[in-house]
Amino acid sequence: MLLDPVILLSIFAGVSAGLFVGAMPGLTATMALAVLLPFTFTLPPLHGLVALGAVYMGAIYGGSFAAILVNTPGTPSSIATAFEGYPMAKQGRAIEALNIATIASAIGGIAGSLFLLLLSPPLAKLSLRFGPAEYFWVAILGLTLIASLSEGSSIKGMLGGALGMIIGTIGVAPIGGETRFTFGMPVLQGGVAMIVALIGLFVLPELYTMAAKGKTALKAIEVDSKARSSFWQVTKTVFSMPGNLIRSCIIGEIVAIIPGAGGNVANLVAYNEAKRASKHPEKFGTGLPEGLVATESSNNVTVAGSMVPLLTLGIPGAPPDAVILGVMMLHGLRPGIELFTTSGHLTYGFIISMGMAAIVMVPVGLLGSRLIYKVIFKTPVYFLVPTIAMATILGTYAVRNSYTDVIIMLILGTLGFLFKQLGIAPAPIVLGLILGNIAEMGYVQTILGGQALQYPVLKLFENGLSHILIGMILFSALWPYFSSLKRRLRSKGGPS
Amino acid sequence: MNREINTEIVSGIIGLILTAVFFFALEDVFWMSLVFPKTIVFIMGIIACALVIKGAVQPSRNRIFNVGSNVRWIVTGILFFSWVLIMPLFGFFVSSVVFITIIVGYLAQARMQLTIGKFMIWIPVVIGEVTLFYLIFTKVLYVPLPTGMFF
């Protein structure tokens, strides 16, 4: 049934549309799915689900294009892609970076579908064990990444992370419902949307830099040799790091099954772990394929991975999943065990189609990457800067149809540029913003749940899963010190 | 502006100013809404102090604003803000055509002599580009863009 020409066409069109949306900063996978939703109403259930799954897969992958070519993550799932992809583009290796992202994304997409096909029931049970305390610890675990995301001084990174968390608390409190830090301005009651901050902090500094550099900005150095960026060579490069691939896919899957923490967290965690496991962590940030493979494989695993809680428990793992849940409900499909038994042909068809969408990403991506590369690098900077600015303004406005969001984006972007001059990178600020909300929800809910205890805060340390997470936090936080101590001892003991 | 400064002390001082701003903005709200931001404000204060101390004990100077022409990024920033600020008045389409043309002209003059002939080529390109984005967002994505006094 999946080889039906209409289904194949749906996959191809879905991946292409998703790629276009994902490549535009500000346009998210959720938005793409929401816009295309009405088109699926008249389609049979399987055709509709297949098309939306393909759009989702394409959008997460498409985010890498903008991240690599203009240092602007198209979606929050490709934040870390910019760390390695953009330096590669600056070295004239843009096509190689785009092709690596394509192959890694396809592998991630296929791995995610396989995980979903084989491991749904046990993974769903694990996701049920995550309560508020575990969410809090997951957020803290994520915050330990700040040290690796800081360019230079980690104290400056921590300051950025704290600032991001404060920005995330502006507006109505998630628990309690009171407003905070609105400075008497009602327009701030809606808070700062994460995607608005992401666009501002990543795009505007880059536009200011391009404007300041003038004709020397984005100068394509023609060293992108065909041999190195060819499909076979890139495939060989990606498969030459099986440990990195497997680790990143597992990280992506674990993060994906936790509702609320999707590709935006997975790509950063996978990048950090790739750096930690690398023999040359100091080279990260200079254009290493390892980092690119880690981020792109992990974020595409989350596409199918986040379907685990959705299909088994009816809990959307990420915002786009809510749209897919809506389509399922529309066709009378209820999440749960019945979905795998009485509607098995539909469910398994949908899961397999996501793997097929991942495969289709390869030809679409390889053709699309050359086209987009040419458009970006052949366009004069004086046209590129206002064009990207327009796409940025539109993308920001479209998030909530809010003019205030555009002003906030401009202010945050300008501050981000000034902070960057002082050595405070935008990534820790965005990380603080993403994880601050998760941490606050987890913390306050846990304390509320522990009111019967003498010390409610002890509720945070109550169960086994929390202990495991605390252990991982300590390991993650202390590892850099152990590793530098080990290096120092080794250099002392070595030949002198 | 292209000079060397102790970025740690400057970052620390900015951190302390932001801490003070957010500390005094902490309103009298119920503890559930207050506990988390209050903790983060204190943590930010501690980090900012640590930066100032580190900058004073181990002073290191870094060059800032050395990305290229400072005038060009400042003027571009002012043009971005002006573009967005006049958008509710003139609408997305008109303000975008006007400001994109101004920015193109401003950035292009760094590398070429501006002539009316060049603008005669650029303006239709800009109009085509803005029209494409305008149609995608209003007709396909159904985003109600600011219309102002035009459309």
The answer to whether residues A61 and A360 touch, using CB atoms and an 8 Å cutoff, is no
CA–CA separation, A168 vs B115, rounded Å? 47
**Is A209 in contact with B27 (Cβ distance < 8 A)?**
no
**Is B68 in contact with A209 (Cβ distance < 8 A)?**
yes
Residue B122 pLDDT greater than 90, yes or no: yes
Paired residues of A179 in beta bridges: A172
Instruction: Render pLDDT for A420-435 as a digit per residue (tens, 0 to 9).
Output: 888 888 888 888 887 8
Could you tell me the pLDDT band of residue A148, with boundaries at 50, 70 and 90?
A: low
Q: What is the pLDDT of residue B79?
A: 96
Could you tell me the pLDDT band of residue B111, with boundaries at 50, 70 and 90?
A: confident
Residue A144 pLDDT greater than 80, yes or no: no
Instruction: Render pLDDT for A45-83 as a digit per residue (tens, 0 to 9).
Output: 888 888 888 998 988 888 888 888 888 787 788 888 988
CA–CA separation, B35 vs A178, rounded Å? 12
> A146, A153, A189: best mutation site toward chain B, by most B Cβ within 10 Å?
A153
- Whole-number Cα distances in Å, A393 to A65, B1, B81, B108, B146: 19, 29, 11, 22, 12
What is the rounded average pLDDT for all residues in chain B? 89
Nearest C-alpha in A relative to B91: A403
Of A395-409, A439-453, B37-51, B128-142, which one has max mean pLDDT? B37-51
Which value does ipTM take for this structure?
0.93
Residue A200 pLDDT greater than 80, yes or no: yes
Q: What is the pLDDT of residue A384?
A: 85
Cα angle value A188/A194/A196 (rounded, 5°): 70
CA–CA separation, A381 vs A399, rounded Å? 27
What percentage of chain B has pLDDT greater than the value 70?
97
Q: What is the pLDDT of residue A495?
A: 47
Instruction: Render pLDDT for A239-274 as a digit per residue (tens, 0 to 9).
Output: 999 999 999 999 988 888 776 667 778 888 899 889
**Is B76 in contact with A385 (Cβ distance < 8 A)?**
yes
Q: What is the pLDDT of residue A325?
A: 79
- Put simply, whether B49 touches A (Cβ < 8 Å) is no
Residue A135 pLDDT greater than 60, yes or no: yes
Domain assignments of chain A as residue spans, ordered by start: 5-485
Report the b/e string of A302-315 with b at 16+ CB within 10 A: bbbbbbbbbbbbeb
Average pLDDT rounded to a whole number, residues A209-230: 66
Instruction: Render pLDDT for B126-144 as a digit per residue (tens, 0 to 9).
Output: 999 999 999 988 888 788 9
CB pairs under 8 A between A and B: 178
Distance from the Cα of B65 to chain A's closest Cα (Å) equals: 6
Q: What is the pLDDT of residue B52?
A: 94
CA-nearest of A87, A89, A90, A58 to A74 is A58
DSSP A186: G
> A422, A437, A460: best mutation site toward chain B, by most B Cβ within 10 Å?
A422
